Amino acid sequence: VPDNGVWYLKCSKPECTDLFACVHTVDAMMTSPAEDLLIPSGITSLPMAGEFPDPAAPNDQLTSEKLGSFKVQVSDAINAYGTRKVSIVTPTDPAFLMTMNPEDAIVSIYTALKHFINSQVFYVGGDRFGSCKSPDHRMSTQGLLNWLTGLVGAYPMLEFWDKVGKLTLNACVVCMWNRHKPVVVPGPDDSGLGSL
């Protein structure tokens, strides 16, 4: 489904109506073979999901599921075979990620992202896990971020997500989660946006 020119996989479950990312779409991205889920040329938002420590969780359940996303720009075919270039969308120039052949499933983009983030994305210029320049960053966000800073060693995925957030949104991992929280929205009758 295109939204403002950005493609994303829309979940059919009623509880996910207004979400750009949910566990179901993440599952689809991870498991669908190439022929079932063709990524269109242009910009596509890809969902992420992961289990992270949750300060609000009771002791017997120490993690909760968090959602995020990143955008990729996919070129038209660059050869007769149908190979396309996949870049990750950032606030500045897109960063080249991989080339994708018609038989490659979307999960290969996640694999390439993991490699790219872990090998080529570094904190620079005083940035670190625990800092954030996003205008949406609040005191409560920083409180949670400070708490998580002590857990980065035990949960390397925290640093991975933080770097994805910094690279793509100039925002920390908690800001990324906050952007993907299910929100209560007015019904279609109230907004006049029912067809979206």
- Binding residues vs Zn ion (CB under 5 A): 11, 13, 16, 22, 24, 132, 134, 137, 171-172, 175
User: Which of residues 16 and 37 has its CB atom nearest to Zn ion in the complex?
Assistant: 16
Nearest distance from C-beta of residue 16 to Zn ion, angstroms: 3
Distance of closest approach, residue 192 Cβ to Zn ion, in angstroms: 24
- The CA-atom distances, in angstroms, between 55 and each of 49, 58, 102, 146, 160 are 18, 8, 43, 12, 20
Instruction: Judge contact between 98 and 108, C-beta under 8 A.
Output: yes
Interatomic CA distance for residues 145 and 18, integer angstroms: 26
| Closer to Zn ion by Cβ: residue 65 or 103 | 65
Enumerate residues 6+ apart whose C-beta is below 8 A from 178: 136, 141
Of the two residues 84 and 166, which places its CB atom closer to Zn ion in the complex?
166
Closest CB 21 distance from Zn ion, rounded Å: 9
Q: Which helix (H) or strand (E) holds 73?
A: strand 63-74
Task: State the residue for tokens 């670190």.
Answer: 128
Q: Nearest approach, Cβ of 175 to Zn ion (angstroms)?
A: 3
Give 113 or 175: the residue with its C-beta nearer to Zn ion.
175
